[in-house]
Amino acid sequence: MRTSYQYKLRPTKSQSEKIDKTLEMLRLQYNYMLSQRFDWWEKNRCSINVCPLVCHLPELKEQPTYYSQKQSLPQLKIDRPWYKEIHSQVLQEVPKRVDLAFQR
Judge whether 1 lies within some domain. Answer: no
Structure confidence at residue 40 (pLDDT): 87
What range defines the domain where residue 89 resides? 18-55+62-103
| Count of the separate structural domains present in the chain | 1
List, for the chain, all residue ranges whose pLDDT scores fall below the cut of 70.
Answer: 46-60
Judge whether 6 lies within some domain. Answer: no
Burial of 40-71, coded b for 16+ CB within 10 Å and e otherwise, reads: eeeeeeeeeeeeeeeeeeeeeeeebeeeebbe
